[in-house]
Amino acid sequence: MMNAENFYIVATDPDEPSLRVNISGPYLTQKAAQADLDAAIDEAAELDPCARSYHYRVCKLDCQKPGVIQHMASHARPSA
C-alpha cells in the first residue's frame, strides 16, 4: 500500500523549468528511487531522445499516481 507522500524520479526540461514530469514511481523510499534513477533515465531516453538533456532528481511528492514509465508499461500491448 502506498503512502500519501511517495518518492518519484522527476524530470525537468532545462529550457522550460516549469515543465516537470514524474518519470518513475511511486517508490516507498528515497533509496529505492535513487537505485532506479539510471534505469529510469535510460527508459525515458528510449521514449524521447531529448530526455538525455533533462535534469533528474528524486522528490517526495503528495501523489500516488504512477510515473510515465509505469503508466506506459501498464498499458503496453503484447506484440503479435
Could you state, in order of their start, the residue ranges of all structural domains in the chain?
6-74
- Determine the pLDDT at residue 6: 94
pTM here is 0.83
pLDDT in tens, 13-54: 999 989 899 999 999 999 999 999 999 999 999 988 989 999
From 1, 7, 6, 2, select the one nearest 56 (Cα to Cα): 7
Q: Where are the alpha helices (DSSP H) in the chain?
A: 30-47, 68-74
